[in-house]
Structure formats: C-alpha cells, structure tokens
Amino acid sequence: SQQGEEDPQALSIQEGENATMNCSYKTSINNLQWYRQNSGRGLVHLILIRSNEREKHSGRLRVTLDTSKKSSSLLITASRAADTASYFCATVFNSGAGSYQLTFGKGTKLSVIP
Amino acid sequence: KAGVTQTPRYLIKTRGQQVTLSCSPISGHRSVSWYQQTPGQGLQFLFEYFSETQRNKGNFPGRFSGRQFSNSRSEMNVSTLELGDSALYLCASSPGQVNQPQHFGDGTRLSIL
C-alpha cells in the first residue's frame, strides 16, 4: 500500500509563482525523498531529507520534514514552465536484511502556465 | 557517468505470453530495484537486488521474477501475462545504502493486448 500521500493531487499556477506540495506518511522512516517525473519519462531525484533533519534547500527547492506530524512539504520558488511535471514523495524505512525500500505516494501533478 | 538504461522502451505482448525486461545500472551501483507504475495503483515496488541477491520483494504474484548478474545488470521476467500487467516498468539503481537516492531509467512501457 502507498505510505506517502501527496496533497494536492493537481496544482496549476502562473509562471513566477511559488508552488507548495505536501506529503503525509504513516510509519517511522529513515529518510524522505522527493522525485519529479516528466510525462512518459523516469523519475528524477530532487532532494533527500533524513529523519533527523528539519529543512533542506537545493536551488529553488525547499523541503521541510516534521516527523512528529509525519509530514513533509516541497516548495518550488519562482516557478518556470519547465517545472511542469508530477512530483512524488517517497519514504524510506528499513525493510530488513539491509534493504531500504522506497514507498511512493500517488503524486502531485503541477502545471506551470507561461 | 552514463545513466540507468532500460531496454526495450516499448513492448507489446498478448495475454499468456511472457516477457523479459532489462536494466543496466549506473557503473558502480550494486543495488537495482524494480517498480511498476500504473494510473490506478501508482508506483509499486516489485523487488530489489543487491550483489546478485534479492534483498526485498513487494506484494506481487510469483509470475513476477527477477535476477541480477555479476556486473549488476538486472532482468525482470513476467510470465503468463495478464491485461492488468500493462504498465510502465521502472528500474532504479543506487550504491545500496539507506541515505542515498535512487537513479531511475526511463522505463519500459509494456502493453498487453
């Protein structure tokens, strides 16, 4: 079953605006990762945030993690048309035997209008 | 470094057939994971191989199997194909430790007629 649940399912904004996507999960995690997927392509890793971290930045991306609320958010600032894609959060927990399985949510479909 | 390569990119099969998909990981990566992506179920974990051993398996029937070779290349096989197996199959590689991201290929789009 999906552990991560993104909110909203779809988001449409104007170029230059900020986009915020949220992710909630159910069990304890080692880390949480955000990925982007353009239509018909594979997933591209954006940011990994460990369970003992609260905030992380990468360029125009800012990710927060609140383990007490079991939630994370991804903020994309000054959005561009090229940011149009689906965004997924994935939680990682120790599934035994040293294996660290990614469990994905269903994603947020972001449309950035030029 | 070259990225993760999956072949073929597109495949059309009929019910009852079997199929083999291939994945070449990033050089030096020892872990290869497979995922199935469908509009209804989203991204679901199939299995993970590390140094030729299956380390973890998702909740899929035994018709789905895989293997990993000594050069870390991996294949997955689906036997007795069903219409519901139509999906994008994604392979991801990583060095295999917990706080390391996975790197995905562009997938194989499998269509079952």
Q: Which amino acid is at A41?
A: R
User: Is some CB atom of chain B closer than 8 A to the CB atom of A84?
Assistant: no
Does the pLDDT value for residue A2 go beyond 80? no
Half-sphere exposure of A71 (CA within 13 A, CB side): 6
pLDDT tens digits along B19-41:
999 999 999 999 999 999 999 89
Does the pLDDT value for residue A1 go beyond 50? no
Does the pLDDT value for residue A77 go beyond 60? yes
Does the pLDDT value for residue A97 go beyond 70? no
Q: How far is Cα A77 from Cα A90, in angstroms, rounded to an integer?
A: 21
Quote the minimal CA–CA distance from B42 to chain A in Å. Answer: 5
Distance between start and end Cα atoms, chain A: 36
Q: What is the pLDDT of residue A101?
A: 78
* Listed residue (A50, A64, A112, A61) closest to A86, CA to CA: A112
User: Is some CB atom of chain B closer than 8 A to the CB atom of A48?
Assistant: yes
Note whether B82 and B14 are within 8 A (CB).
no
Q: In whole numbers, what is the pLDDT of chain B averaged over residues? A: 95
Does the pLDDT value for residue A48 go beyond 80? yes
Q: What is the pLDDT of residue B32?
A: 96
Does the pLDDT value for residue A98 go beyond 80? no
Q: What is the pLDDT of residue B61?
A: 96
Strand, coil or helix: A83? helix
Mean pLDDT, residues A55-75 taken together: 97
Quote the minimal CA–CA distance from A13 to chain B in Å. Answer: 23
CA angle B9/B43/B48 to nearest 5° reads 80
pLDDT tens digits along A4-14:
688 899 999 99
Residues of chain B with confidence (pLDDT) below 50: none
- pLDDT above 70 as % of chain B: 99
Q: What is the pLDDT of residue B98?
A: 80
Q: What is the pLDDT of residue B96?
A: 85
Q: In whole numbers, what is the pLDDT of chain A averaged over residues? A: 92
Q: What is the pLDDT of residue B2?
A: 82
Of B4, B43, B50, which is closest to A104 when you measure between CB atoms? B43
Q: List CB contacts (< 8 A) between A88 and chain B.
A: 43
pLDDT range class, residue A86, cuts 50, 70, 90: very high
